[in-house]
Amino acid sequence: MANTVDFFYGIGSRYSYLAATQMDRLAADTGAALRWRPLWSTRLMQRRGMDPFRGPPASGQYDPAYRTRDVSLWADYYGIPFRDPDWSVLNWERFALSAVAADRLGAAGPYTLRLYNAVFGDGPPPMTDADLGAVADNSGIDGRKLVAQIDDPATQERHERNIADAIAAGVFGVPSFVTDGQMFWGNDRLILLRRHLGAPR
């Protein structure tokens, strides 16, 4: 029986972007069944009462300049585009909810990859609901349906369930992967996840 991997990720997370681009290969190499679990990572940290991005960086790991350099190196290693967006003008919570809406429509993976490319890759980043609808259309789902579901209470409920399930599994940040009762945190833990799933070294 194939392992199931819950992939908890945030659209506003550069490291989640990196990890998301590797999910298809992970599934192909290991036979694992992936469940894309989008959430607004700010809400996750608020619920846990711990946010390393508030105030001065807790360590060099959270220094913005370091993170940009680090993600750029990983993107080059993966052979994918990367650019830092204008963080202050994008609606990260709405992006997360749009990914939850895509999940309700059965296309969380394709939509998330298109959205990530718009935000961190080739762009341009979506600024309006119409832009999010266009991302949906380009990922194979009806953009009008997606936009209509962003504010649907059922979308909010699924988002809350993703956060609750993440916390119950011990998730403290994104990206995180949960399988067989074990949690792996971070894009750089993918190698350990692959080993756990039985992929060849």
Domain ranges for the chain, please list them.
Answer: 4-196
Are 158 and 176 contacting, i.e. CB atoms less than 8 angstroms apart? no
Q: Residue 199 has what pLDDT?
A: 82
> Residue 10 pLDDT more than 90?
yes
pLDDT band at 34 (very low <50, low <70, confident <90, very high): very high
pLDDT band at 54 (very low <50, low <70, confident <90, very high): low
SS3 category, 90: coil
* Mean pLDDT of all residues in 67-77: 97
Query: How, if at all, do strands 182-185 and 176-179 pair?
Result: antiparallel
Distance CA 10, CA 171 (A): 12
Distance CA 19, CA 96 (A): 16
- CB-count exposure of residue 127 (10 Å: 0-12, 13-18, 19+): exposed
> Residue 55 pLDDT more than 60?
no
Cα 82 to chain center, whole Å? 15
For domain 4-196, give its CATH number from 3.20.20.10, 3.40.30.10, 3.40.50.1820, 3.20.20.210: 3.40.30.10
- 37-49: string of b/e by CB count within 10 Å (b at 16+)? bbbbbbbbbeeee
Are 190 and 26 contacting, i.e. CB atoms less than 8 angstroms apart? yes
Mean pLDDT of the chain: 94
